[in-house]
Amino acid sequence: MHKLSNLTWAVFLTLALVMPLATRAGNTTPNIVLIFCDDLGYGDIGCFGSENHRTPHIDSLARNGIKLTSFYSTCGVCTPSRSSLMTGCYPRRVNMHEDARGGWVLFPVAFKGLNPTEITMAEVLGSAGYATACIGKWHLGDQAPFLPTEQGFDYYFGIPYSNDMGNHYKNRNYPPLPLLRNTTVIEEEPDQSYITQRYTEEAVKFITQNKDQPFFIYLPHTMPHNPVFASPDFAGKSANGGFGDSVEEIDWSTGEILKALKANGVDDNTLVIFTSDNGAARTWGGSNKPLSGYKGSTMEGGMRVPFVASWPDKIAARTSSDELTSTIDLLPTFAKLTATAGELANEIDGHDISHILNGRRRAKSPHDAFYYYFRADLQAVRSGPWKLHVSRQQRTRGQKEPTQLPDRLYNLDNDISESKNVADQNPEVVTQLKELAETARTELGHGNSKGTGQREAGRVENPVALRKQQ
């Protein structure tokens, strides 16, 4: 009996280590709230070292859950990074790395958008019976076939692209900035001082209305993208000007959502994730410390972003992981947690990271390599602790002839700020990473060369401006 008892315990402990999060939850699927900021830097929240911003509610997610300290966006700007979040793919795979004219992101009245044939996380979760809402900035196409309600979301409320893309800002020749409910423009040039507050009210209402069924809320905040705004309760109250005001209001918003989850009795079975679309910009007040580089670059500060997640009793409190993870991993992770992996018919680049979230001992990154693209071009690759910026030409403004940049190799485990090039001392590592880079160029594409695994974006021939009907 003693030997049998020991064997029984051994089996039990083995099963406990290998059971995914959803199984530990008693075969119940979690509600999911995904909070996605715009241009929030690695060092802009307290639990990631900010000394300028008070973020107690966001910090509580880290205190009650996990921090991922090597979590990456796939691009340093909005549209490409959001296409990866929704599809689990690098932007080049889904052809969302540039707009139709070669610009960095999509602009109002765009020909291009996320192809409706792509499978989004909302469609995957919807197939499992989830009520789904997108509340905030979309930026994956403003034409009818590309809007959230055509991409798996039951409900949409928000501004469909960046908040500087109206006719109020710098006298740009754009249509008035639209605020949509589902597909209808309900306001033009809304008062952005209240936009974070309004998004929060919509999220709380959706929680209350759907507390008796699984729900997914994707909350891509408009802030703290420039121009920054905050309501009168927060304006002028932070130690970091308007940027800090908007960050602290986002923290308040996070607290209101946590409060609503508790009030509706669903907090114990809700996975809450907080992260950002890319790093902070060089100007406007954000911080990527201790990383180097800014929004738009393939330096760590452009693409490594803060990530915290909490799920009571399923994610251990006060844990952290420095394993390489990315926004492309969230879709397959959600599919794993909700037993909907069979819905992923398209090839994707992300992997399930539930083993990392649940704190499994010695859990490792599922990525052999991670690729850093700048628009159409592959500029860097990471494998394990090694990151290689591949040799390339660079032309700065006013420079007649381009500069040839050499291969630059960094060991991110001991040089997170990418300050010491060790390529000459590690030629075999350089060779290995160059082979990985060539694999990406072949499959995902590079420059004007289309990848063998690259798919087409959506396109309309006669785009129209989103305007309020009179």
Active site residues: 78, 139
Query: Which residues 6+ apart lie within 8 Å of 373 measured at CB?
Result: 74, 75, 80, 90, 91, 92, 97, 298, 379, 444
Indicate the burial class of 211 (C-beta count within 10 angstroms; 0-12, 13-18, 19 or more).
middle
Kindly write down the DSSP assignment for every residue of 252-270, as one continuous string: HHHHHHHHHHHHTT-GGGE
C-alpha radius of gyration, the chain, whole number: 22
Indicate the burial class of 16 (C-beta count within 10 angstroms; 0-12, 13-18, 19 or more).
exposed
Return the residue matching tokens 């401006």. 465
Residue 287 near residue 32, CB atoms below 8 Å: no
Instruction: Fill in the DSSP letter of residue 401.
Output: S
Residue type, 358: N
- The C-alpha atoms of residue 380 and residue 158 are separated, in whole angstroms, by 34
Q: Which two tokens stand for residue 156?
A: 């949409």
